[in-house]
């Protein structure tokens, strides 16, 4: 069976800890030759700065080569629906794309955000599942409805600051943004913090901003396994109180999915969820992070972003190390721990 990296739900905490240990070694010794003559295709359906740079550079630092493809812009548009009568814009089907790329490269990575029309369809994550079903090489998720690479970078960052992660209070706070964004990073933040046994609090303005039940249930179950707390709160002060790590993300309200103007009528009242120094002062001298990109003074203030407790740049750097560890793992390599 082919080993993919589609979601951390398919990987145990022990397996992820191996990746994180290798990532630490790669941080100290970035240049390796394990992937000499190996190659990967990076399929980008959406823009990226960190993901594209860190993957392209990462495989190069391991001796391999990356090929960037942007379907619909320089590469043919791709149809994902099975049995589709392809009379639209797409020139080829994922079955052929997966087959052809598998015959050229050793790994395929994909960034395919949801279509933002119907959450009941988007929540099935069918594009990456179709690619994985038809590829004969490992497939890596570079963000769909989850962002598992970001999860690894976040946990590497948390571990850099806390000797013991279990039962530390992790606050995932919704924050304001002018547009209704993808829930992927928020879903992922719940998955990884709960997998490592943190006390997880999800803070959002009201029930409309709750994440999909699948991720709430998974996070609660993982917290329960560790004897940790899982809390949903709409109260800013009590949620921030005694937090050890504050993670901010904006996302669209799922009941208004596909209807951005109606959704905006909800969100415009919640600009005060922006992370600022007053809120951070309520915490247990917490670290703050965000996956980036971040609109300053909209999602978090300059005071927060420029504070010594802001570790967002460390998290961004860690994307490089964890993805290299994961690529090595998928290609059958594990670095020697001393």
Residues that bind ligand CP (CB under 6 A): 48-51, 143, 150, 291-293
The backbone torsions φ and ψ at residue 203, rounded to the nearest 5 degrees and listed phi first, read -110, 125
- Which of 32, 48 has the CB closer to ligand CP? 48
Residue with tokens 């009590």: 238
Closest CA to 191 of 232, 169, 222, 161: 222
Taking the complex as a whole, how short is the minimal distance between the CB of residue 1 and ligand CP, in angstroms? 28
Nearest to 310 by CA among 324, 320, 296, 323: 296
**Sign of the four-CA dihedral 182, 191, 163, 274:** positive
What is the DSSP code (8-state) at residue 155?
Answer: H
Least CB distance to ligand CP at residue 226 (A): 27
Handedness of CA 136, 142, 144, 148 (dihedral sign): positive
Sign (positive/negative) of CA torsion 289, 292, 297, 303? positive
Smallest distance from ligand CP to CB 337, Å:
28
Nearest Cα residue to 72 out of 128, 118, 120, 111: 111
* Nearer residue to ligand CP within complex by CB, 54 or 102: 54
Considering the complex, what minimum distance in angstroms separates the CB of residue 83 from ligand CP? 33
- Residue 47 or 277 with smaller CB distance to ligand CP: 47
Which residue of the chain is nearest ligand CP when measured via CB? Answer: 51
Measured CA to CA, the distance from residue 250 to residue 50 in angstroms comes to: 18
Q: State yes or no: cis peptide before 260, omega within 30 of 0.
A: no
Strand partners, 200: 170, 230
- Pick between residue 50 and residue 267 the one whose CB is nearest to ligand CP: 50
| Least distance from ligand CP to the Cβ atom of residue 46, Å | 8
Beta carbon nearer to ligand CP, 49 or 115: 49
In angstroms, what is the minimal distance from the CB of 33 to ligand CP?
26
Cβ-based nearer residue to ligand CP, 49 or 281: 49
Smallest distance from ligand CP to CB 53, Å: 8
Q: Which is nearer to ligand CP, 50 or 321 (CB)?
A: 50
Q: Look at the block and give the residue holding tokens 């079903």.
A: 133
């Amino acid at each position: 069976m082919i080993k993919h990296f589609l979601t951390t739900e398919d990987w145990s905490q022990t397996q992820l800890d191996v990746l994180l240990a290798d990532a630490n070694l790669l941080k100290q010794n970035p240049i390796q030759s394990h992937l000499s003559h190996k190659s990967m295709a990076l399929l980008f359906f959406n823009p990226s700065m960190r993901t594209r740079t860190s993957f392209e550079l990462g495989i190069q630092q391991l001796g391999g080569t990356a090929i960037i493809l942007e379907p619909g812009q320089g590469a043919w548009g791709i149809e994902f629906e099975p049995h589709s009568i392809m009379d639209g814009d797409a020139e080829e089907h994922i079955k052929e794309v997966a087959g052809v790329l598998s015959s050229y490269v050793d790994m395929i990575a994909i960034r395919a955000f949801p279509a933002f029309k119907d959450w009941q369809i988007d929540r099935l994550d069918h594009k990456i599942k179709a690619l994985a079903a038809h590829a004969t090489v490992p497939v890596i998720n570079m963000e769909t409805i989850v962002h598992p690479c970001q999860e690894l970078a976040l946990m590497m960052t948390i571990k850099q600051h806390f000797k013991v992660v279990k039962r530390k209070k992790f606050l995932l706070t919704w924050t304001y943004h002018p547009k209704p964004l993808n829930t992927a990073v928020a879903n992922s933040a719940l998955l990884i913090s709960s997998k490592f046994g943190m006390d997880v609090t999800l803070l959002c303005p009201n029930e409309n901003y709750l994440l999909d039940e699948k991720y709430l249930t998974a996070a609660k179950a993982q917290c329960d396994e560790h004897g940790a707390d899982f809390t949903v709160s709409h109260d800013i002060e009590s949620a921030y109180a005694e937090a050890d790590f504050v993670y901010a993300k904006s996302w669209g309200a799922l009941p208004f999915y596909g209807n951005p103007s109606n959704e905006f009528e909800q969100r415009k009242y919640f600009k005060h969820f922006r992370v600022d120094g007053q809120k951070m002062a309520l915490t247990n001298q917490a670290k703050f992070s965000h996956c980036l990109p971040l609109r300053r003074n909209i999602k978090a203030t300059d005071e927060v972003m420029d504070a010594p407790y802001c570790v967002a740049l460390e998290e961004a750097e860690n994307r490089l190390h964890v993805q290299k560890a994961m690529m090595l793992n998928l290609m059958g390599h594990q670095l020697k721990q001393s």
